[in-house]
């Protein structure tokens, strides 16, 4: 019977991390189904979705993760899933993208994410960065969020709430519907 697992790993960025994890998966007779990888500062982070079958697959993964942690100096975590994961594709009618830009300050992500949660909006993907402005060196924060809204949500109320946050934090914020 095919079983599903989520595996995450983080460690100082270096060549070979993806190869180390791919070999771990292969050696455990598992299959890589989906992945997301990024470099954050000097750290490489990865989230993998795996399948495996047969007796002892969970024990093989556990032992292999411990070995890779020790040998390759990665922090590795895995867990079995309750069943096949539900695809997170967003119907075009419910897909939105939010972009925010402004002088970097504490609370931008917290306030925007809480606002989205209060409207029952699911964040599908988020990326953020802080870069110095070319002339002054002022740190400018950028955030991009892909999200899915529930059927029948109040788009005007969301825009009002987001506009209030943008005003309070002195940031530019845009919301685009994909549909």
Of the pLDDT bands very low, low, confident and very high (cuts 50, 70, 90), residue 179 is low
Q: What is the mean pLDDT of residues 25-48?
A: 95
Q: What is the mean pLDDT of residues 161-175?
A: 97
For tokens 């994890």, what's the residue?
21
Mean pLDDT of the chain: 93
Is residue 89 predicted with pLDDT exceeding 70?
A: no
Q: What are the backbone angles phi and psi of residue 176, rounded to the nearest 5°?
A: -115, 135
**DSSP state, residue 112:** H
CATH class in words for 92-177: alpha beta
Q: What is the mean pLDDT of residues 106-135?
A: 95
Q: Residue 17's closest CA among 92, 68, 67?
A: 68
Q: What is the mean pLDDT of residues 155-173?
A: 97
The enclosing H or E element of 127 equals: strand 122-132
Common-topology check for domains 3-80 and 92-177: yes
Q: How far apart are CA 108 and CA 103, in angstroms?
A: 10
- pTM of this prediction? 0.81
Identify the pLDDT of residue 93.
Answer: 54
Identify the pLDDT of residue 84.
Answer: 87
Q: Residue 29's closest CA among 1, 60, 4?
A: 60
Q: Where are the domains of the chain?
A: 3-80, 92-177
Question: Residues of the chain with pLDDT > 70: what percent?
Answer: 96
Q: Look up residue 48 and give its two tokens.
A: 């993998």
Q: What is the mean pLDDT of residues 8-20?
A: 97
HSE-up (13 A, CA, CB side) for residue 122: 11
Identify the pLDDT of residue 1.
Answer: 85
Judge: domain 3-80, CATH 3.30.70.260.
yes
Cβ 144 vs Cβ 112: under 8 Å: no
């Amino acid at each position: 019977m095919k079983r599903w697992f989520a595996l995450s790993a983080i460690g100082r960025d270096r060549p070979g991390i993806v190869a180390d994890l791919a070999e771990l998966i292969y050696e455990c007779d598992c299959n890589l189904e989906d992945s997301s990888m990024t470099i954050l500062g000097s750290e490489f982070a990865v989230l993998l979705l795996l399948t495996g079958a047969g007796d002892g697959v969970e024990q093989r993964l556990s032992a292999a993760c411990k070995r890779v942690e020790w040998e390759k100096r990665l922090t590795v975590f895995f867990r079995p899933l309750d069943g096949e994961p539900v695809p997170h594709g967003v119907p075009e009618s419910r897909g939105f993208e939010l972009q925010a830009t402004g002088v970097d300050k504490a609370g931008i992500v917290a306030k925007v994410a809480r606002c989205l949660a209060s409207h029952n909006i699911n964040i599908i993907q988020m990326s953020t960065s802080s870069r110095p402005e070319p002339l002054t060196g002022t740190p400018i924060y950028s955030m991009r969020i892909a999200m899915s809204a529930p059927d029948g949500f109040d788009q005007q109320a969301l825009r009002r709430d987001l506009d209030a946050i943008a005003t309070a934090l002195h940031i530019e914020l845009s919301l685009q519907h994909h549909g």
